[in-house]
Amino acid sequence: MKKETIIAIIFGIIFGSIVALIILAKNKEIQLTKTKTLAPTEKLTQVAKNNNIIKQFEISEPPEGTIVSEASIVIKGKAERDSLIVVQSPSKDVVFKNDKEDFSLKFPLVNGDNSIKITMYPKDPQGRSQEKSLHVYYLNETL
C-alpha cells in the first residue's frame, strides 16, 4: 500500500469516530428530552393535598363490650355519604349503601360473644376503606 492510502484510512477512521461520538451524544440528549419526568406536576400535588382529608368512620352505638338481654341490637354510626357499609358476624352478613352520613341498622345476635366487623368502602375509588370491630355479648335471661 501507498502512504497516501494508509493516511486516508487513518483520517477516515478518526473522522468516523468523531462523527459517531457526536451522533451518540445528540441521540442521548434527544432521548432525555423525550422521556417523561417522574416527579409530579404542581396540579397533581394540589389534587393530592385535597385527597388527604379522610372522613372519619365512627360507630356511636352500642359501646364496645356491651352486654344485652335482647336477641338484636341497633348499630348506629357515621360514615361517608354514598359509601358501602359491610357488617359481618358469624351469624349474619349485611351490605347496604349509606345514603346519609348517619346510619342505623338493626342487627341480630347469637347467644354469647358476638364479634362484629363493620367496614366502610367510600364511593371515591381513590378513598381508603376503614374498618371497625365491635364485641357485643348477648345473655339470654332464661338460661
Indicate the SS3 state at residue 49.
helix
CA distance 126 to 111: 39
Q: Per-residue confidence of the chain (143 residues) as pLDDT tens digits?
A: 788 888 999 999 999 999 999 999 888 888 877 766 665 555 554 544 444 455 678 888 888 888 888 888 999 999 888 888 999 988 888 998 888 888 898 988 888 888 999 999 888 888 888 898 989 898 887 65
CB-based contacts of 91, cutoff 8 Å, min separation 6 = 108, 109, 110, 114
Q: What whole-number distance in Å separates Cα of residue 75 and Cα of residue 105?
A: 5
Distance CA 88, CA 6 (A): 88
Output the pTM of the full model. 0.57
Segment holding 115, helix H or strand E: strand 112-121
